Amino acid sequence: MFSNSITLEKIIKSDVSFARILKGSPVYTNREQLLSLRLYISLLQKNNMKPSTAYISNLTPLRGFAALIVVIFHFEALIGKFVNENNSMFINKGYMMVDLFFVMSGFIIFHVYRSNFRNSITGQSFRKFLIARFARIYPLHFIMLLICVLLIFVLGANPILNPAAIPTHIFLLQSFGIHKIFTLNVPS
């Protein structure tokens, strides 16, 4: 059932806290140590708290580049031009980086959550997924909304900084055509 010598790396690769607890003894030959390690792993699997998925470091710079180009595109559209559009179409086509960013983000979401939906989508797993996505997206949206509300007080109201749009932004309804133009946090 158990081998006489088993390394921590073979059993669990990415759980740093457990590795810290057992630091200093990378090879386990004691039956009690092996049983406690097996119990720890079974508890992780039972509670669906598996070690985190592998980090794909190659996608991070590309996602950052795409996000930066999108920010520059929005800045140019709203505030001022960096480059004359006759000299370069790169910035003018920055909206296409949104598509690239979404494709890569979809791949990463699949990579992270595929084990939760491997056999089927249950109500509980879908609820966990929605809560995790909401917890990642909404705080940044809310902070940007607060900044836009502060800009209303500093710059005054205008068609973009429209105080009447605050409730739609709070409930993430700003892109459903309720207002005639995009309001407050335009990129959202």
Secondary structure of 1-60 in HEC code, one letter for each residue: CCCCCEEHHHHCCCCHHHHHHCCCCCEECCHHHHHHHHHHHHHHHHCCCCCCCCCCCCHH
What domain range is 38 assigned to?
Answer: 6-46
113: in domain: no
183: in domain: yes
Looking up tokens 């699949």 gives 110
Q: How confident is the model at residue 139 (pLDDT cuts 50, 70, 90)?
A: very high
State yes or no: pLDDT of 44 exceeds 90: no
Q: How confident is the model at residue 21 (pLDDT cuts 50, 70, 90)?
A: very low
114: in domain: no
Nearest partner of 138 among 184, 171, 183, 175, judged by Cα:
171
94: in domain: no
151-183 pLDDT, tens digit each: 888 888 888 888 888 999 999 898 888 888 888
180: in domain: yes
Least confident of 43-47, 52-56, 150-154, 178-182: 43-47
70: in domain: no
Task: Please report, rounded to a whole number, the percentage of residues in the chain having pLDDT higher than 90.
Answer: 10
Instruction: State residue 34 phi and psi, 5-degree precision.
Output: -65, -40
Task: Please report, rounded to a whole number, the percentage of residues in the chain having pLDDT higher than 70.
Answer: 72
pLDDT of 53: 67
Average pLDDT for 84-96: 80
Query: pTM (2 decimals)?
Result: 0.56
Looking up tokens 């039956």 gives 31
DSSP state for residue 127 in the 8-state scheme: H
The total number of structural domains in the chain stands at 2
96: in domain: no
Q: What is the mean pLDDT of the chain?
A: 75
Domain boundary among the residues 14, 31, 46 is at 46
171: in domain: yes
- Computed over its alpha carbons, how large is the radius of gyration of the chain? 24
Q: How confident is the model at residue 48 (pLDDT cuts 50, 70, 90)?
A: low
Residue type, 185: N
Question: How many Å separate Cα 86 from the centre of its chain?
Answer: 36
